[in-house]
Amino acid sequence: MQPVLIWPDPAPPDVVRVLDLSGIDWETVTDDADTRKGVWSAAIVNCEEQPATAYAMAAQLRRGDLSVGPVLLLVRGSQLGDLEDRHDAFDDFCVVPAHPAELEARVRHLLASEGGFELPPEVITYESLELNLETYQASIDGRPLDLTYMEYELLKFLAGNPGRVFTREVLLSRVWGYEYYGGARTVDVHVRRLRAKLGEQHAALIQTVRSVGYKFGESRWGS
């Protein structure tokens, strides 16, 4: 698969993180000359800081003489009105800040819409832990983990956000859902079971942050 083009340079950290975790190759470009140097499976244009220049870049990318796939715009909610007369300049847009899952889904949809692109499997990896999001299988050191649905969902959420500290209340709302009325002990019980299933060698991947909640591993992008 050809890389995804991102403008401007540097790329937004949130976008980089989503693409890296998804195994999607990307490169930034600064101008028309950079764009012409490659073939791009899709383009992401961030309109947050320089909207006028960004819209012009998007329109340029849609020209027929460039080897660029569909174009995704990143816009703030206050910029939605700007899109009204610019539908020819993009294929999809995403309001930022976006949930990582939404941004990933939109990028994957763009790539799939082009056809012929073999997308990497949706897998979360951290050291020897691997979570296949398509088959709901998990393994560590090559050893399959026998997880319940909620244990898998909790581990997926934590491993998808390494280094971030979450309170029990946030974990309840993000993993179990806003309509779940269980108490914080639910989180503690599932964490205890997960640690047991990860095994003594890997139990410390899920760390207790005293008086706050839990975090998984260390951030790949520094603190």
The pLDDT of residue 213 is 94
Indicate the SS3 state at residue 99: coil
Average pLDDT over residues 140-155: 93
Cα–Cα distance for residue pair 138/100, rounded to 1 Å: 21
Average pLDDT over residues 56-70: 86
Nearest to 46 by CA among 81, 90, 84: 90
User: If residue 27 lies in a helix (H) or strand (E), which one and from where to where?
Assistant: strand 26-28
- Among the residue ranges 55-69, 103-117, 130-144, 158-172, the one predicted with the least confidence is 103-117
Average pLDDT over residues 201-214: 94
The pLDDT of residue 209 is 94
Cα–Cα distance for residue pair 8/28, rounded to 1 Å: 7
Residue recorded with tokens 């012009």: 56
pLDDT tens per residue across span 94-146: 999 888 888 888 998 888 877 645 555 578 889 999 998 878 899 999 999 99
Averaged confidence pLDDT in the chain: 87
The pLDDT of residue 119 is 56
The pLDDT of residue 215 is 94
- Among the residue ranges 131-140, 174-183, 209-218, the one predicted with the least confidence is 174-183
C-alpha distances in angstroms, 137 versus 111, 126, 146, 147, 161? 25, 14, 8, 9, 18
The pLDDT of residue 223 is 47
pLDDT surpasses 60 at 20:
yes
The pLDDT of residue 118 is 55
Read off the pTM. Answer: 0.56
Average pLDDT over residues 178-186: 72
